[in-house]
A and B are shown apart, each in its own frame.
Chain A
Amino acid sequence: MKFSILVNEGPYTHQASDTALQFTRAVLAKGHEVMRVFFYHDGVNVGSRLTVPPQDDRNLQKSWSDLAEEHKLDLVVCIAAAQRRGILDEGEAKRHGKGEGAANLAPGFRISGLGQLIEMGIESDRLVVFGD
């Protein structure tokens, strides 16, 4: 079955991105396909490479980046939501004059529009929403 995942809450304050990660791992372990993971609202903060959680805590950004690398996952951060919250890739950082090295989008993530979310609903067998 073809799944898509929507993450609507940010890391650590809410458990949604943890649960989404565990669900995505379980889906892949069962041999299903994950078409895309879309990060919206504060969920875009999962895609910041600048988070530094304590060493004895889980690192959500790294866990997602590692999972993406292992399974060639498509992790998409909503551009409008990301710009509001200061998540920028190199192109956006340059376009908005934020200076050299300002980009903070983590490895394995890409920035794109809400159309990618609608497409998930159209193309997937199941779109599973993780939020508050």
Chain B
Amino acid sequence: MNGSRLKVGVYYLFAFWLLAEWLIPLKTVSDTQNANVFIVFVGLCFLFMFLRIRASIVALINVSYIAYTLNALFFDVSFFSFRWLPLLVEDVINHVAIVRQARWFEVTNVFRSLLFFVLLWMMTYVVRYWLFVRKRLFVFYVATVAYVAILDTFTAFRGNGAIVRLVTLGFLLLHWLVDERIGGAKQWKRWLAASIGMISVCLVVGYVGPKLPPQWPDPVPFIKSYAKGSEQGTGKETVDGTVKKVGYGTNDSRLGGPFVADDTVVFTVEDEQRHYWRVETKSVYTGKGWETADNDVTDIFEQENHIYYWFEDGVEKETFTAIIRPTQPMYYLAYPLGLKAVHALEVNEFLLQMANEKIYPVDRQLNTLPLFEHEIVYEHPIFSVEQLNDAPAVQNDTLLAQYTQLPATLPSRVRQLAEKITNGKQTQYEKVKAVEQYFRLNGFDYETTDVAVPGDNDDYVDQFLFETKKGYCDNFSTSMVVLLRSVGIPARWVKGYTAGQLTGKTADGKNIYTITNKNAHSWVEVYFSGVGWVPFEPTQGFANPYRFTQPQLPQEQQVVQPSQSLRSRIPVNDLLRGEQTTSSSWKDKDHAIWNAFTWKKAIWLIFVGVGVVFLLYKIRRKWWPYVTLFMFRWKNGDDAFVRAYVALLKHLQDYGLKRKQGETLRQYAAYVDRYFGTTDMSKLTYMYEKAIYKQQANVEWEKMKELWENLIKKTVP
């Protein structure tokens, strides 16, 4: 076996290794139990390639191997009885229809494994092509590293070993391939030694060196929660599968991190009144997020809600009817405060979970049902500030115990802050308003991307109130609840949707609102004796849609922020219907915008911009000729030709065909033509000479365009 044969063998070994790195994690991350059979298969393929066995024999052996493995794994009958064969054939035939109709869930493991074998078989050929024909493996290598890194980050698979192996192997392989491409350096042994030395040094330094903790907020929990939201497709949790809340799902036990706005429409509504849409409430704050109270009590109502009364009798109410049209069937109810009745075609019973006030449409066996278009009757409350101010302190002990719960780990400075804010306020309502106002005036910013995740020793609320002061509704609402609870006011955290965007009017004058995923929201409800749960809105840029009447001083109603966020664009007219906008809030908004453009961000932007420009400049030879082609595609006339020719000269120079200072165009054209083996450049040049040395006006640019285009295309490396 000579040297080159040995080299080829090592290549195949490395190729096998690279592909195996894709298969090894399968055991951990998927339900593939027998990844080894696939690894062996890949090994076999490469071995046959190395031994240069005839394709027909290889095919026979491989097919036998696949058949044997499939039989051993799935059919469990004697291989040589061949009774598995009709089963396999039948399975394959069945799958023709399944694949054609894209019923992917029905694909059996047998067929999946078969396809996987075929895929691997093809991959071995592709890898061989990259290695021996293209002699380029960088893209595949990067993909492998990315694959391992992603699996390491998001799954139980630990890629420590794999990364080390990949760095060693990959760089060696890349080095060798480069060496091959440039035709083999004479001193390849020295080069190899240098390369191995470098890789070893990197590995040792990387292994021994200290490792910094992550320097930026970990994006993983957010992406994970996003993935979870979309994963929940089966079982009882279907209930929230369709909510797919961006930035937070049903699981609010760990809040924080950035979120991405999502425009998917959840439902549209015909309604006369703006209000929030509740989905559920949560009452147990853990220091990191929210948990539902440990309470299994449920109740069922048929259409008319006779089991849950939202307000005491003294509250002024107006009754409205809304028609809700979900884009996807909903497995829970999004309902307004004061829900009286739900009318749906297919569903009669509704199950109310007391612990979180979540309502599911169910059948008689209590299985959740999909909810399509339905009608909701509700009593919209109008709160009297007078009445709220007069409300006596809450006496109900069970209610107080549940809704003033706080974790023992809550830092004391939160309580001190709560006391400071409410100091001097007489009534519960005044205290609540003081806390609500606190977020408007003390340098808090609405922010969706640069939002911190509390570390192990941090409290979510504490971090927001004292350190970051940047966040979205979850930060604001949770903090308000915790502050209120710190001074003994019963409060809870409500999740759902804002009123959405006004998108039209019906014939009979009702408003049509569209509620999308980005309208997902959380806010605060506070219990007032003699009134009930009253919603409050601490989040910057959001307006409380509920009315609070103040007969004496109607102008000085609560301060309302105009909508500045992406999440609820309330038309100004609509907004003014219930509340007033003050000028100070506009100032706050300007302030927020100003804050958003800090010098740090500006420098980053410039940095990124310069980077992009530099990159574009670096790869200009790949794209600039096409821009030129496009620019002159429809340009005609003498002038266009001259400019096109000059552009061609530039591209040729860029390509590396330099024209010397004293070289005439003909000499240069001859040089270019010699290089490309054409006569196009000379022909073009003869015409160009006429244009510039003779000032001849009508050159036959139309006829020459094709030559010109060919040459321009040749300058793309």
Partners in one complex: no
